[in-house]
Amino acid sequence: MKKKLFYLICLLLVNSILISCNEPPSKKNHNNYNLDENQNKPESVLNINLANESNLVDLGLSSDLVNEILANQPFLNFSNLTLLLDGNYNEELFRKVFLPLNLNTANESDFHMIPGVGKKMAHEFVEYRPYSSIEEFKREIGKYVDDNEVIRYLNYVFVPVELNSSKESDIKNLPGVGNKMAHEFIEYRPYKNITQFRREIGKYVDEKELNRLERFVYLKEN
């Protein structure tokens, strides 16, 4: 009886080992895969025009600088931001907070300020102008860097949209523009001028936010 019990236990152990060996790799490494996936996620960068006091304090900025930033929002061009920071900016800060740059109009030197973008890559950013959409930027710059790096760049840049013809998906790609606001952009088409855009969209947002949004749009000349 003891001998039979011993053989039975051995059989169960062997069977358990065989099942473990035959387990699909994707299942066995599921936890490790998730860990690696999280480690490889592109960093998220705070848009300085959308930052509140708490966000800025968490970055370790002085109270005086935080107050100045809040008083000057929205920053409508990059030089205004760098003038305000006046030497308080560095690559480490710009890994955490930034003012997205217009891919079609920003100075090439401004692209140098994006962490990890040197002169060569900044030149490539300019080389493919004008961009019709952020998807075109992803496609062209994706020739030089991997997908994660392209996605990281999206924290730092945008492609302006033509108010009367841009696809809703392109509008949603604008910094801080969600589904609801994208719908409102389209709702009032066709726009005759930017004044009309300000009047209609001004029904939903305050003056500061309206100024921030106006930076992302344009109208073709008739």
Contact 186, 165 (CB under 8 A): no
- Predicted pLDDT at 95: 95
Pairing of β 217-218 and β 97-98? unpaired
Q: How confident is the model at residue 222 (pLDDT cuts 50, 70, 90)?
A: low
More confident residue, 86 or 37: 86
- Enumerate the β-bridge partners of residue 104: none
| Exposed / middle / buried, residue 154 (Cβ in 10 Å: 0-12, 13-18, 19+) | middle
Contact 177, 160 (CB under 8 A): no
Please give the full DSSP string across 41-71, using - where no structure is assigned.
SPPP-EETTT--HHHHHHTT--HHHHHHHHH
* pLDDT at residue 27 tops 60: no
Where are the domains positioned within the chain? 44-99, 100-159, 161-218
* pLDDT at residue 22 tops 60: no
- Enumerate the β-bridge partners of residue 98: 47
- Predicted pLDDT at 15: 55
- Predicted pLDDT at 89: 77
**Spatial separation of the C-alpha atoms in residues 140 and 150, rounded to whole Å:** 10
| Exposed / middle / buried, residue 124 (Cβ in 10 Å: 0-12, 13-18, 19+) | middle
**Which CATH topology does 161-218 take?**
DNA polymerase; domain 1 (1.10.150)
Average pLDDT, stretch 134-152? 97
- Enumerate the β-bridge partners of residue 101: 157
Q: Per-residue pLDDT tens for 103-119?
A: 999 999 999 999 999 99
- Predicted pLDDT at 20: 46
The domain 100-159 is placed in CATH, from the list 1.10.1740, 3.40.50, 2.30.240, 1.10.150, at 1.10.150
* pLDDT at residue 6 tops 80: no
Specify the DSSP class assigned to residue 40: T
Give every CB contact of residue 111 below 8 A, 6+ residues apart in sequence: 101, 117, 121, 122, 125, 126
Question: Could you tell me the two tokens for 209?
Answer: 């936010």
Average pLDDT, stretch 38-42? 47
Average pLDDT, stretch 13-32? 43
Q: Per-residue pLDDT tens for 49-94?
A: 999 999 999 999 999 999 999 999 999 999 999 999 987 778 899 9
The model's pTM: 0.80
- What average pLDDT does the chain have? 86
More confident residue, 51 or 12: 51
Average pLDDT, stretch 187-193? 98
**Spatial separation of the C-alpha atoms in residues 56 and 145, rounded to whole Å:** 30
